[in-house]
Structure formats: structure tokens, C-alpha cells
Amino acid sequence: MGKTYLGIEFGSTRIKAVAIDENHIPVSSGDYTWKSSYENGIWTYDLNEVRTGLVSALSGIRNRSDIAAVGISGMMHGYLAFDRNWNLLVPFRTWQNTVTEEAAAKLTALFGFNIPQRWSIAHLYQAVLNGEEHVKRIAHITTLAGFVHYMLTGVNAIGIGEASGMFPIDSSRNCYHEEMLAKFQKLTEDQPWNIRDILPVVLTAGEDAGSLSQSGAAWIDGLLPVGVPFAPAEGDAGTGMTATNAVAPRTGNVSAGTSIFSMVVLERPLEKVYEEIDLVTTPTGKPVAMVHCNNCTNDTNAWVSVLKETAALLGAEPGDDEVYTRLYRKSLEGEPDCGGILVCNYMAGEGVTHLNQGRPLVARSPGSRFTLANFFRASLYSAMATLKIGMDILSREQVAIDSLTGHGGLFKTPEVGQRYMAAACSAPVTCMETAGEGGPYGMALLAAYRSRKARGESLEEYLRTHVFASAASITRMPDAVDVEGFHTYIERYQRLLEVERKAVEVL
């Protein structure tokens, strides 16, 4: 067997490893299921499970001695704070948390640049405002991918796309924004640290990010060979862009799983600052408008579990894939506006619609047509409704999108999620054969690019010429009836959000 390239992603529900060959075809994979827990008002993951899950996922990879390069990816944003000896100071605060409203608002005003609640710098400043005891002992802050990369290589660095979810980036220089660093340092001048010293180093795609150390190999039970090169660690946004060939201006992608977000590579800056729009970068530093929504398929997954349990009462024992496929396809029989059925899928708070907590809801009037098809269609519409609210802002800014590619679990069943997304965005949506692979596949491509950059190709050229030139794909154009039905649904959905706000208040 020839060389292979390994991508590992720490997602919201799975830790997944994917190896690709020199033709960029997946050849083996492994995964580990995990989930966040809500402890003392914070969504978190146990970092001990990081190593356990990584070892489990790596065990599924064949011919590990042939791996030529590795890359680590993970859920972007959040807050991991360490002392000088890399001891964790407080439990991991994930992107799901909406507890930094005060800090995010003050930093947005200070910078003239939108700082979402889930960004690392918002978490850090909120801890400062709260007077939390650990703040004085901080020597490093990083992301989940950055932490794993450090444990494996001893290199405290992350990719620029991942870094852009920690602190604003100056895309003209591919580094943290110096003026904003200076403003933040002045804001926190009473602290014993300098913000420049506690952030990880920024690297762009293809750069040398170290190699597997002796201690790193021991940490994963020797499952990878010492010395294997590593690509810069990237966030799930950057790997999603890479996996869908959406790293050039006027391209975009939608990643849809536990969370949902769209990434559109910009030709020009946005005219205004929007709380609903993040400005991040591609893995090479190009500016990107990101609409990030905390809630996507979690609520739908819960309903699938209940319906599967119902089937078991009747003596049926369908597998998970069969249940999902049948329910997704059944939704196509639903009415374009879901027959008046409304679903709010908020398990957690949602920054785009300015809610700090979530209460999943199903609402209908006496005249609604409450069928399985209508209900499940409404559930899937709900999974992408908040994204549409954010995408409508980009439409008003006249952001040009030549192509929009979908990937992630929502698109795994052919046609269904793709059709609804085309209706939501009023744009053609393309899905590739690798749509279900998502982030770990994109990280494997970045690992492969790490090995080939010496040839002088840009990431855009590399993906266009070597990876996606002949990739099988299906494009779905928006259907006029679906577009009208989704428009009707979203008008009702925005009124449902008033009910959601009241539910958060009283339930």
C-alpha cells in the first residue's frame, strides 16, 4: 500500500479518524461516540475522554505505519485555559455555552468587530469580568484541536482558520489583529499576563506544524509512528471548507450536524458589523463570512430515538441508518409549508436569534395537518431555519455566491436535506460523494497538502486540480414550490421565537 494521510476530528458527537490514499479516496476510518455534559451551568467535555476517544478512533485505521502526514481538527471556539505546566485550570467551556454576553458586547464595541459569545477571547474576558480565581494563573489558552495537537507534538500552534475563532485575524498579514491585541492588552493591563503570550502561534495551511513526539506517541499507546509530520490544527469550519472545495472567493459551504453553519468566502468586506455574522478565515487566511447556529440535528435525533423506541414496541427492530433514511424520505410527502406544524429545535441558546437558553418546542393550531410527514419535514426545516435568518443578512449585503456545497449528517440521506437547503437559501446546493465524511476528510486533505506544498501550489489550486477535478457530485436547484413553502414556514417560525423566549422565561 502507498502513502496515506490521516485526518482526525473531535466533533460534537463523534471523534472520527479518516485515512485517505494518494488519490484522496478514503481507505479506512474509525470513530468513538461521545457527548457533552451540562455541569454547574456549563456545557463541557471531560478531557480524559479525549485520549480514550482518540485511541479508539485510531484503532480503526489500517496500515498506520504508511501514514505520511496527520492533522487534528475539532469543534471551534470555546475556552481551554492552562497554567505554565499545561494543567487545566477550569473545565472545558464549549462553543455551546452562551454565558459571555457581557464580554462579547463590550469587546464588539471596543474592536468595532463582531465578537460572538462562543469565541475564546469572549470566554477569557468574561472570566476576567467575573473575577474568577483561575485567571491570574493562566499561561496558555487554546482550542480543543490546539490542545490535542500540543499533546501529540509539543507545538503550541494552530491553523489560521482555527485561530480566527479565538481572536480577530488580520488577513493582510495572516496573524492576530495587532491593533485589537493592543486594545485588549490595555483592557486587561492589571492581569499578570499579556494576551500576545497566552494565545497559540498562528500557521497557515501547508506549513510545518511539528511531528509526533515520543511523549505524544506514548499518549496514544504507540498507535502512530514517532516523527510523522503534522499539518496545522484546524477548526471544523476550515475542514468543512476544504472538504467541499469552498476556499476560493464566491464559494461557500454549509456544514450541518449537531450544529449548523455556513461559510462564504468574501470578495469584499461587509459594510456593517453584524452580531449574527462571524468574520473568520479560510485555512490560508482569506476572509470568510460565517453564520453559525448552535442547534441543528440534536432535537431531530431525539425524535428519531423516540420513534425508533415506538417501532420496538410493535416488534420492529430497524437499524439507526434505516430509521433515519425512512423518516427523511417520508418528510418529502409533507406539504411545502409543513401543514402549519412548527418546531423550534433549540436545545441550547442561539446567538443568531439572541437567546441564551433553549427549550425545544412543537407547536400547531387546531387547523394544522399533524401527520408524520408534515411533522418530520417541520423538524428538518427547523434544523436550518436559524441559518436562513443569518443567510438573509448576507443576501441583503449582496454577497455573491457562485456555489454552495453541503456536507455533514443532514445531507447523508440523498436529496432530502439538499432539497430543503436549496429552498432555504434560494440557491443551488451541491453534495459530493464525501458529504457524509465532512470534517475529518477535510483535515486529511490538509494533511496531504502539508506534504505537497513544497511543489508551490496554492491550496485552491491543489483542491481544484488534484482532488475535485473529477469528483462525483449532485447539484439540486431550488424548487419554486419548496422556496415558497419554506418562506411561509420561516415567517411563522420567527413568530414562534416569541413563544420560545417566553418558554425560556417560565420553563
Mind giving me the DSSP string for 195-206? HHHHSPEEE-TT
In CATH terms, 4-244 corresponds, of 3.50.50.60, 3.30.420.40, 3.30.470.20, 3.40.50.960, to 3.30.420.40
pLDDT digits (tens, 9 = 90+) for 95-110: 888 899 999 999 999 9
Residue 411 to residues 3, 16, 306, 383, 416, Cα–Cα distance (Å):
30, 18, 21, 12, 7
- C-alpha cell of residue 138: 493562566
- Homologous superfamily of domain range 298-432+477-506: ATPase, nucleotide binding domain (3.30.420.40)
pLDDT digits (tens, 9 = 90+) for 177-227: 999 999 999 999 999 999 999 999 999 999 999 999 999 999 999 999 999
Mean pLDDT by 10 residues, the chain (507 residues): 90 94 94 94 95 97 96 95 98 92 96 94 98 98 98 98 97 95 98 98 97 98 97 93 90 88 90 91 94 93 96 93 96 98 95 92 96 98 96 91 85 92 91 70 96 82 90 90 97 97 96
Domain definitions of the chain by residue range: 4-244, 298-432+477-506
Q: By three-state DSSP, how is residue 289 classified? A: strand
Element (H, E) at 462: helix 459-462
User: Of 91, 109, 89, whose CA–CA distance to 43 is shortest?
Assistant: 91
pTM, to two decimals = 0.83
| Same fold for the pair 4-244 and 298-432+477-506 | yes
The number of CA neighbours under 13 Å toward the Cβ of 286 is 22
